[in-house]
Amino acid sequence: MPQAASPEFNEKKLPKGQLRKLKALRKSLGDDIANRAFGQWLKAQEKGAAGAVDKGAELIEEAVAALVKEKKISIPRGGYLLTRSRGRVFVTRAAKD
């Protein structure tokens, strides 16, 4: 019998949701297939997380950065809170906690 390959991940470092996914895969597919499938899924998740960018946040950053560079506005330490409602955008100073 060939020796089972060790998984490419550390189970003790996985968050609760990922452990649930791994256990469900093991229950339905068996340990060997589930470990390989979960390892591949985990690698794909890590690659996707680094490349995920919020396009709306990028646009806001570009608009605000231009104004800050021109010294037309300054951003306080706590920042601002953006909310929208019925076609309007509200900018309020973030509350101090």
Taking the complete model, does pTM exceed 0.85, yes or no?
no
Please write the tens of the pLDDT for every residue from 21-54: 999 999 999 999 999 999 998 888 877 665 567 8
Strands (E) in 1-87, as ranges, are 80-85
- What is the average pLDDT across 53-77? 87
For residue 36, how far is the Cα from the chain centroid? 23
Percent of the chain having pLDDT more than 90?
31
Is the same domain home to 86 and 64? yes
- Got the DSSP string for 8-20? SS-GGGS-HHHHH
- Does 2 map to a domain? no
What Cα–Cα distance (Å) separates residue 50 from each residue in 11, 19, 70? 22, 21, 31
Domains contained in the chain, number: 2
- Does 38 map to a domain? yes
- Its domain, for residue 68, covers 55-93
